[in-house]
């Protein structure tokens, strides 16, 4: 039989407190069993011992997993510190990475006409941002923006709602223009000149839409 011992050298059977555990039968009782019952008892003991030994292995593995989880936690804490430093050094040179991340926001602003009696009009502005950099692109009067976009794409956008205009037309070309020029010139380089929608449209016409799609990501 397989047993374990406590500090007091009291015999304890592997598998105690498991389901269907039975103490070992005294010899007199075992001898009183018929042949078939003895076979069942021996096979029961063998399976019960297997389960007990397996539970000991599981306990050992769980203990090892606990230790490994502690090591993983320590490494993740180290990584957190390293990532903070990594980002600090990455940001100033992020433009060198063709796939660098930045946001492209587009906002609508209502402006009162300078001419007395004329209705207020809406103009659009875009910003390319990271946590430490910002470049602005003036888009212009909403009506003129739709006209320029219609000419650029060869589609009538005059009836499109603002979400469609922004998500399907403006944001793709602005993101592509920004990524291309920031990658080539750096944030300081692209920020040296005043940017507007006319410049963006000229660039799209020059390089073509296949190239534009290459730089959207």
Each residue's pLDDT, cut to its tens digit, for the chain (217 residues) gives: 445 544 444 556 676 666 777 777 777 887 787 888 878 778 888 888 888 888 889 999 999 999 999 999 999 999 998 988 898 888 888 889 988 999 999 999 987 776 776 677 789 999 999 888 899 999 999 999 999 999 999 999 988 999 999 999 999 999 999 999 999 999 989 988 899 999 999 999 999 999 999 998 7
CA distance 99 to 105: 18
Distance of CA 83 to the CA centre of its chain: 15
40 and 109 part of one domain: no
Residue where a domain terminates, one of 91, 113, 147: 91
Q: Are 169 and 210 in contact (CB under 8 A)?
A: no
Instruction: Please tell me whether residues 59 and 110 are part of one structural domain.
Output: no
pLDDT at residue 183, rounded to an integer: 93
68 and 116 co-located in one domain? no
Backbone φ, ψ for residue 47 (5° rounding)? -70, -35
Q: Kindly report the length of the chain.
A: 217
Whether residues 64 and 147 fall in one domain: no
Given 62, 91, 120, which residue is the final one in a domain? 91
One domain, residues 81 and 136:
no
Domain stop point among 38, 68, 91: 91
Q: Which of 205, 206, 216 is nearest to 177 (CA)?
A: 216
Query: How many domains does the chain divide into?
Result: 2
Which pLDDT does position 7 carry in this prediction?
47
Give the pLDDT confidence score for residue 154 in this predicted structure. Answer: 95
User: Which pLDDT does position 11 carry in this prediction?
Assistant: 56
The reported pLDDT for the residue numbered 126 is 96
| Residue numbers of the domain that contains 133 | 97-214
- What pTM, to 2 d.p., does this model score? 0.64
Residues 78 and 169 in one domain: no
Q: Are residues 66 and 110 in the same domain?
A: no
Closest CA to 13 of 3, 28, 21, 23: 3
Cβ-based neighbours of 191, under 8 Å, separated by 6 or more? 135
> Do residues 85 and 106 share a domain?
no
């Amino acid at each position: 039989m397989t047993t374990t011992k406590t500090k007091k050298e009291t015999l304890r059977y592997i598998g105690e407190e498991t389901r269907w555990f039975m103490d070992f039968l005294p010899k007199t009782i075992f001898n009183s069993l018929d042949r078939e019952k003895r076979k069942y008892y021996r096979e029961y003991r063998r399976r019960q011992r297997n389960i007990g030994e397996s539970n000991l292995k599981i306990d050992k593995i769980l203990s090892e997993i606990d230790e490994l989880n502690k090591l993983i936690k320590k490494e993740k804490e180290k990584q957190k510190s390293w990532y903070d430093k990594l980002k600090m050094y990455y940001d100033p040179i992020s433009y060198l990475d063709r796939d660098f991340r930045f946001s492209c926001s587009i906002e609508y602003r209502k402006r009162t006409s300078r001419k007395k009696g004329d209705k207020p009009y809406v103009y659009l502005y875009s910003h390319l941002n990271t946590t430490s950099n910002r470049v602005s692109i003036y888009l212009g009067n909403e009506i003129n923006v739709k006209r320029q976009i219609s000419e650029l794409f060869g589609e009538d956008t005059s009836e499109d709602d603002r979400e469609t205009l922004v998500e399907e037309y403006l944001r793709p070309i602005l993101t592509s223009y920004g990524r291309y020029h920031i990658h080539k010139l750096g944030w300081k380089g692209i920020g040296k000149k005043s940017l507007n929608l006319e410049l963006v449209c000229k660039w799209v016409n020059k390089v073509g839409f296949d190239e534009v799609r290459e730089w959207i990501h």
